[in-house]
Amino acid sequence: MGSAYYNFKKVQTVPTAADFVDIVLSKVQRKTPTVVHPNYQISRIRHFYMRKVKFAQDCFDEKLSQILEDFPKLDEIHPFYADLINVLYDKDHYKLALGQINTAKHLVDNVARDYARLMKFGDSLFRCKQLKKAALGRMATIMKRQKDSLAYLEQVRQHLARLPSIDPNTRTLLICGYPNVGKSSFMNKLTRADVEVQPYAFTTKSLFVGHMDYKNLRWQVIDTPGILDHPLEQRNTIEMQSITALAHLRTSVLFFIDLSEQCGYSIAAQCSLFDSIRPLFANKPTLLVVNKIDTMRYEAL
């Protein structure tokens, strides 16, 4: 995987806290010896229980590390994706959740280390067994406290998996303009993407991606949600998605204008939107596409 292009679909399912604990404890039960013979020497009994504690630590470590590796680090991925994640889930909340998982991993390590040390002084079978029980209990408690972080990360994972695969470095056509000016219909004609086309605003709820070949070159066509005409800080999540896309992708921009005004916005309003978001298109080839001219009589213009 290149640092720029991130495949969100490979992130593995994040179990709930209770499932997490069950998976690890049942694995410890299955994969480590379970019978202590009465004639074992104390050193062998200590080793028997120490091994269980160590194995539990390794299982927790492995699963927690997997989560930390799977989720994208915002500083290392393409700014297009970093911004998109920030818009959808709030960067701080996301980093906090991953930070808490990291902390849990260190806490589990500390518990295992402390109890392994105590186990060396276990002077009877009963004492060693109680220490093992306490160690696993504390590890389970640490994980149960991560209930919210794990649930949040699973939600993020499900949502990330549904995001379209956009390659920020490939040739791209970006289609934008007011809602209902015919962007999705144009995209359906151009590519094999199947974008729902309905006669009301905001049908395109997230970025849609299609691909087409032109003169033996592959192009990526992105249909953005309708961007309404108001200042940046008043935009909602859907509109912020468009802004992110516009700002970071290497694209040519097609701005659609509906001459018939059937979209519910006047031509003047459409032009002022074009002027207000034009700074985002600096250094990008920009085309004005005049649409729905068949519904207007020439005399009426």
Model confidence over 207-243: pLDDT tens digits?
A: 677 787 877 777 888 877 655 545 556 666 666 666 7
Q: Which long-range contacts (CB under 8 A, 24 or more apart) does 137-140 make?
A: 138/111, 139/24, 139/56, 139/57, 139/60, 139/108, 139/111, 139/112, 140/21, 140/25
- 244, 83 Cβ separation under 8 angstroms: yes
Predicted confidence at residue 194, as pLDDT, reads 59
Angle at 66 between CA 148 and CA 103, to 5 degrees: 50
Assigned token pair, 244? 């992110």
**CA–CA distances in Å: residue 216 to residues 120, 166, 191:** 70, 20, 15
Question: Which of 294, 234, 226 is CA-nearest to residue 255?
Answer: 226
In this prediction, residue 294 carries a pLDDT of 59
Reading the block at residue 257, the tokens are 């204008």
Task: Please count the other Cβ atoms lying within 10 Å of the Cβ belonging to residue 252.
Answer: 14
Helix (H, G, I), strand (E, B) or coil at 122: coil
Question: In this structure, what token pair is assigned to residue 292?
Answer: 């729905």
pLDDT beneath 70: ranges in the chain: 1-6, 192-207, 225-242, 244-246, 261, 292-301
Measured CA to CA in angstroms, residue 211 lies from 2, 104, 165, 171, 249 at distances of 21, 43, 11, 10, 15
> Counting Cβ atoms within 10 Å, is residue 25 exposed (0-12), middle (13-18) or buried (19+)?
middle
The C-alpha atoms of residue 132 and residue 81 are separated, in whole angstroms, by: 44
Task: Determine contact, residues 272/177, Cβ cutoff 8 Å.
Answer: no
Would you state the pLDDT for residue 233? Answer: 63
